[in-house]
Structures are given as C-alpha cells and as structure tokens.
C-alpha cells in the first residue's frame, strides 16, 4: 500500500454508498466458518502521485485480487496494471521492527513505458498548463479501476471484500464511481487492532513476518497455509505490489480465521516487546 494520500488528490465524482459494520459484525465476516457460501475477495490497490504536482493528482497504478471460495478452499488470482505514459511518484512507508512508520521512501515510475525505480527530485514541478492533462489521465485510470472492480465483483456472489487499511480503497472506489452494492468492505488492519486492543496498528510488512509469509517458484505460504500461484503472477509477489500485498492480506486473514490462538500469541509477544522498548 502506498503512502497516505490527501483527499484533494482524488477526482471528484458523484457520491455512491459504501457499507461498514460494527467490530462484532466484522469479526463474524472475517472469521467465517469453513464451508460458508459466497466468495471473499482480498485485494490491494497501489497508487502513485503524478510526478511534479506536489501530491495534487493521484491515480491507481495497479491492483491485485485473490478470490477465495471457502466451500472448497479454492483460489483464483486476478490483477491489472493501469499503464499510462505518465511519470508517477511511488511513496512507500518505512517501518521499524514493531511495525511503526519511521519514514517514507520515494521513487518515480512510468507504467506505460515500463520504467521503475527512477530517481525522485522533490524540487521538480510540472507547469500549470500540464496539470489538466494529468488530471484527465488520473480520471481514465480511476475509470479503469471501476471497470476492473465491476468485472471481479459478481453481483450477489461476493458478500465481503477484505483489504488491509481501507481508507484508500474507500476513496478510490468513490473516485472510480464503483458501488459495493451491499458487499461488506472489511479492514483487516483495523479488525486486528480492535481484536487485540492495540494502541497502534501493525503494518502488513510486520504481520507478514509474524505469519512466516514466503513465496517460492510455484506457491505462496504462511505458517499453516499454502496455495499454488500461476506462473504469470509469480513475478508480482513482492511486498508493495498489488498482487503481492493482496496475497499477504489473504494469508493473514486465513491465519486470523482458522489459527487465531497461534496468531494471538505471536502478536501479543510482539506487543510486549515493543512496549518494553518504549
């Protein structure tokens, strides 16, 4: 997930409803029993600021989704990169061993040209005349996001979408004019914080380490779960990529759903260590 973004960076669209639940209701969804009906979609959207707009224009750059059917424990992967010939700033949180944000690393990428890891110059600015074109490109990218979501979320067959830190997805769905239409949006990060009565949230990086997340040439795994990954997605499994973070969110949810006592022990051990460090 990219760095926290400003509301003004998102294109303005008509308001469409999203749904939220109480903590108890969310736990019921996240900790659904094996054999439950309907699909669960675990997704992650990565964003970038248009380079040189002082974080004034934001656009989605890629999305990854894991579609899980609890009744047979099957998974399906789907993802998309929004390839436009425009330079975007990639802001990534840097966290300490306790999962606290201690800084931000920034690079520049151009998805349309397939260029990544370019140097970031904080003094660079585009001209005022270039901003409208950047805003138009962002609107097209959000339109692509909306089309992707409409294609993935089957009407009546997806009772829940699970993300890690939902604020960005909520804003992006509004900008994409995508309605959840009764589908529940679950924020796994907030649910874990609520469940364990934590003062601060833990990063996905830290939680992925706690569940022993790993990926090899044919599969992804955590402490208690392992799933195959098709070859076409294996190069996208790194942290802070749409597919990579969607899979990490999925495996974390599986541990939370079915191996909660073990996960609780690991999280509370971490919490105690962090509190002792001050």
pLDDT tens across 117-175, in order?
999 999 999 999 999 999 999 999 999 999 999 999 876 688 899 999 999 999 999 99
pLDDT band at 76 (very low <50, low <70, confident <90, very high): very high
Residue 219 lies in a domain: yes
pLDDT at residue 176, rounded to an integer? 97
pLDDT band at 29 (very low <50, low <70, confident <90, very high): very low
Q: How far is CA 258 from CA 30, 31, 228, 238, in A?
A: 10, 7, 19, 25
Average pLDDT over residues 70-99: 90
Question: Per-residue pLDDT for 3 more than 60?
Answer: no
Residue pair 81/61 in contact by the 8 Å Cβ criterion: yes
Residue pair 98/277 in contact by the 8 Å Cβ criterion: yes
Domain CATH number, residue 124? 3.30.420
As a whole number, the mean pLDDT across the chain is 86
pTM of the model as a whole:
0.86
pLDDT tens, position by position, 36-72: 457 899 999 999 999 999 999 999 999 999 999 999 9
Average pLDDT over residues 19-33: 45
Percent residues over pLDDT 90 in the chain: 66
Two structure tokens written together for 235: 């190069």
Give the integer Cα–Cα distance in Å for 145 and 147.
5
CB count in 10 Å sphere of residue 54: 14
Two structure tokens written together for 128: 């005022």
Question: Per-residue pLDDT for 1 more than 80?
Answer: no
pLDDT at residue 271, rounded to an integer? 82
Residue 1 lies in a domain: no
pLDDT at residue 198, rounded to an integer? 87
Two structure tokens written together for 17: 């409803």
Residue 2 lies in a domain: no
Residue 185 belongs to what domain range? 7-276
pLDDT tens, position by position, 219-256: 999 999 999 999 999 898 988 899 999 999 999 999 99
Give the integer Cα–Cα distance in Å for 136 and 257.
42
Number of domains in the chain: 1
Question: Per-residue pLDDT for 217 more than 90?
Answer: no
Residue 264 lies in a domain: yes
pLDDT at residue 37, rounded to an integer? 57
Average pLDDT over residues 73-86: 96
Two structure tokens written together for 146: 């909306």
Residue 16 lies in a domain: yes
Question: Per-residue pLDDT for 34 more than 50?
Answer: no
Residue pair 65/152 in contact by the 8 Å Cβ criterion: yes
pLDDT at residue 182, rounded to an integer? 79
Question: Per-residue pLDDT for 28 more than 60?
Answer: no
pLDDT at residue 35, rounded to an integer? 43
Lowest mean pLDDT among 110-119, 124-133, 176-185: 176-185
């Amino acid at each position: 997930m990219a760095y926290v973004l400003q509301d003004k960076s998102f294109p303005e669209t008509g308001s469409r409803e999203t749904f939220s639940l109480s903590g108890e209701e969310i736990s019921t969804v996240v900790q659904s029993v094996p054999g439950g009906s309907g699909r669960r979609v675990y997704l992650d959207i990565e964003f970038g600021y248009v380079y040189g707009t002082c974080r004034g224009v934001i656009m989605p750059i890629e999305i990854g989704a894991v579609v899980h059917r609890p009744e047979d424990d099957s998974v399906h992967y789907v993802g998309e990169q929004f390839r436009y010939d425009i330079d975007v700033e990639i802001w990534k949180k840097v966290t300490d061993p306790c999962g606290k944000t201690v800084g931000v690393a920034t690079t520049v990428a151009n998805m349309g040209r397939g260029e990544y890891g370019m140097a970031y110059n904080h003094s660079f600015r585009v001209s005022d005349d270039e901003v409208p074109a950047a805003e138009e490109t962002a609107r097209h990218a959000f339109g692509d996001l909306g089309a992707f979501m409409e294609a993935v979320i089957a009407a009546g067959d997806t009772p829940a979408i699970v993300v890690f830190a939902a604020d960005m997805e909520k804003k992006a769905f509004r900008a994409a004019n995508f309605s959840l239409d009764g589908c529940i949006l679950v924020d796994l990060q907030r649910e874990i914080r609520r469940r364990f009565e934590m003062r601060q949230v833990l990063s996905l990086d830290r939680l992925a380490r706690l569940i022993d997340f790993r990926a090899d040439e044919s599969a992804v795994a955590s402490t208690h779960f392992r799933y195959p990954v098709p070859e076409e997605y294996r190069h996208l499994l790194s942290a802070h990529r749409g597919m990579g973070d969607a899979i990490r969110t999925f495996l974390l949810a599986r541990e939370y759903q079915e191996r909660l006592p073990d996960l609780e022990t690991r999280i509370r051990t971490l919490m105690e260590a962090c509190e002792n460090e001050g």
